[in-house]
Amino acid sequence: MKLTDRDIEILRFINDCGYCVTPHLTNFLSVKRARTYQLMRRLVQRKFVIKEHLLQGHPALYYLTSKGANFTDLPPIEYVSLGTYRHQIIMINVALKLMRVHPEAIWISERHLKHDKCYDGIGKRGHVADGLLLFPDNRQIAIEVELSVKGRQRIEGIIKSYASQFDIKEVWYFCSQSAYNALSGLAAKKTYIKLFPIKEFLA
């Protein structure tokens, strides 16, 4: 099977994310769901992609085989973590919306940031952003998705550490309501920190 440019685009998108679900691909490709199934069926049958029903009542998810990953810049994922599943699904929704709102910018996924080592880990645990927007004027905007309230000390450390990352002009936090409330006080005097209610952003 000879892969088309669109096939390779699909493989790269999936592997940039690590894995994704059917609605993500429909959104990314701007096609109807039936067409998404048709495109993915070919890639699954040819063993470029693995299709898995991980959770009952949730859409099928897709990730690459080693064969499929050969057409991308990243290795395939080793497994799908249930612990980060919700965060992953919402993070991809945020990324797709950001790519649509800022078509002039390049989206760099967390997987690329880690793999390419083009982004210095910040914080005591080597924190890496959930993603990065790179604009034509070389502005870099770090993207964070916060769905739960983390320890105050850890969040303070991450926020303060961003101040020393001179390549990062701003940090955009997309938050659940509880996380938004928790971060508001910490970010109030940090002009480089922007908070967005995730529910409103994705509406």
Which position has the higher pLDDT, 126 or 203? 203
β-partners of residue 174 are 145, 196
Q: Note whether 63 and 96 are same-domain residues.
A: no
The one-letter amino acid code at 171 reads: V
Q: Note whether 167 and 99 are same-domain residues.
A: yes
The residue segments making up the domain with residue 11 are: 5-80
Residue after which a domain boundary falls, among 26, 52, 80: 80
List all residues 6 or more positions away from 2 whose beta carbon is below 8 Å from its beta carbon.
none
pLDDT (0 to 100) of residue 78: 93
Q: Note whether 132 and 170 are same-domain residues.
A: yes
Return the beta strands (E) in the chain as ranges. Answer: 20-21, 49-52, 61-64, 106-109, 131-134, 140-146, 168-175, 193-197
Helices (H), 102-171: 110-116, 152-162
pLDDT in tens, 187-196: 888 899 999 9
Please give the C-alpha separations between residue 164 and each of 110, 123, 157, in angstroms, as whole numbers: 20, 11, 11
Highest mean pLDDT among 50-54, 111-115, 149-153: 50-54
Q: Note whether 69 and 126 are same-domain residues.
A: no
Q: Note whether 104 and 189 are same-domain residues.
A: yes
The overall average pLDDT reported for the chain is 92
Q: Into how many domains does the chain fold?
A: 2
pLDDT in tens, 153-173: 888 888 888 888 888 999 999
pLDDT in tens, 60-119: 999 999 999 999 999 999 999 999 999 999 999 999 999 999 999 999 999 999 887 654
Q: Note whether 60 and 148 are same-domain residues.
A: no
